[in-house]
Amino acid sequence: MAEYVCIVCPNSCRLKVEEVDGEIQVTGNECKRGIAHGIHEHTNPERMITTTIAVRGGTLPRIPVISSAEVPKSVLKDCLARLYSLEVEAPVTCEQVIEKNICGTGVDVIASRSMPRKGGQ
């Protein structure tokens, strides 16, 4: 049996997920959405990526980025390692694609704010 905290609604239910006779059963949920979340978290957990990457020539040394969708949790560390190795050149515009199809996931990583060039150039 595995336990998860449901993040679908403000109730933060403590879900218990177990496989019985090849079927996944979820208990502890207060709403139907908790069942789907428990099954998904147990069988194929995914996470959004939110981090920062280095900027060369910007007004700040780093810029925040976010993934366009969730990535499988199993490749999250690889995705972060790739992002930590990057350095982009300013200027950067909000929603500019920083890394397309990160680690073959089909998910793009985009800038979540704009970053002008240092000195306004």
Q: Is residue 49 within 8 Å of 79, Cβ to Cβ?
A: yes
* 58-81: average pLDDT: 97
Residue (of 52, 47, 45) closest to 110 by Cα position: 52
Q: What percent of the chain clears pLDDT 70, i.e. is strictly above it?
A: 98
Taking the alpha carbons at both ends of the chain, their separation in whole angstroms is 58
In the beta sheet, which residues pair with residue 110? 66, 97
pLDDT bucket at 119, cuts 50 / 70 / 90:
confident
Residue 121, pLDDT above cutoff 70: no
Residue with tokens 């336990």: 3
Which H or E run contains 87?
strand 87-89
Note the pTM of the prediction, 2 decimals: 0.84
